[in-house]
Structure 1
Amino acid sequence: MCAAPGDSAEWLDAVAWNSEGLAPVIAQEAGSGQVLMLAWMNRAALQRTVELGEAVYWSRSRGRLWHKGESSGHVQHVEDIRLDCDGDTLLLTVRQDGGIACHTGRHHCFFRRLAGERDSWETVEPVLKAPEAIYGE
């Protein structure tokens, strides 16, 4: 991860944060290009991500910053951060510790595929580690 941008907040101001002060973030695996997950960041999460070189998101369910891997150990080491053409979506290229990005114990969060006559979702990716073994009861 590169050194944090200067003290100026201009780089943070370039992000088109939504009305809740958030922007969607895609985490993509370095090397394979696999999309691991989609999460959200606010200004503080993006700034902390840059400072640490590890992904820090805004947890909408917890209502607080969430350092990816804080309870699972599955930290995302950030290699690159990109901002899309509209300035409203971030892309992180990450190295995923433990090979598990999803809280369900799978490699990535996109493990269901629209199946058959397009009327149901089928699970197409295995659980690599049971969530109970990752997080406890």
Structure 2
Amino acid sequence: MSHDPTPISDNPAEFTLDPVIAARLKLNDAGLIPAVVQAVDTREVLMMAWMDTHALAYTLATRRGTYYSRSRDEYWIKGLTSGNVQEVTDVALDCDGDTVLVTVHQTGGACHTGARTCFDADPLLGPGQ
């Protein structure tokens, strides 16, 4: 007899971060922490986004890149509407506890423009400049 597992909610607000992890975070005044997102295969920086404790808890529980959109004031599960999903392989907190590094397998573009990375459009300084 097969047993269907309980489906995981698509609402990050329903997830609570482990208090031990939460105690290590240094959130800004808005309750957010920057998340630098990096490709696992190339180590290329793909994007920077914001997380709150619920988005981080959801990411840790589901391995789906999940962020908090300041402009839309809502959670954003990467790829839910675009199909450009982020399968999270690793999450690390920096030495100060004020930035999260999220390493992902990226499907499609990471940037909202459709580009692979948010950082390739207009370099301010590069080799030979």
TM band (smaller chain) = 0.7 to 0.9
Structure 1 residues 66 and 30: CA distance shift in structure 2, 3 A: same
Identity of aligned residues (%): 44
1:10 maps to 2:24: no
Q: Distance in 2 between matches of 1:38 and 1:87?
A: 16
The equivalent of 1:90 in structure 2 is: 100
Structure 1 residues 113 and 8: CA distance shift in structure 2, 3 A: closer
Look up the equivalent residue of 1:14 and give its one-letter code: R
Mark the runs of 5 or more structure 2 residues left unpaired by the alignment: 1-16
Structure 1 residues 27 and 8: CA distance shift in structure 2, 3 A: closer
Number of residue pairs aligned between Structure 1 and Structure 2: 110
The equivalent of 2:89 in structure 1 is: 79
Across the aligned residues of Structure 1 and Structure 2, the Cα RMSD in angstroms comes to: 1.7
- TM-score, normalised relative to structure 1: 0.76
Q: Distance in 1 between matches of 2:73 and 2:111?
A: 19
1:23 maps to 2:23: no
The equivalent of 2:119 in structure 1 is: 110
Look up the equivalent residue of 1:108 and give its one-letter code: T
Alpha-carbon deviations, 1:54-98, whole Å to 9, x = none? 110000011011101111111101000010011000000100012
Match of 1:48 among 52, 58, 72: 58
Mark the runs of 5 or more structure 1 residues left unpaired by the alignment: 1-6, 119-137
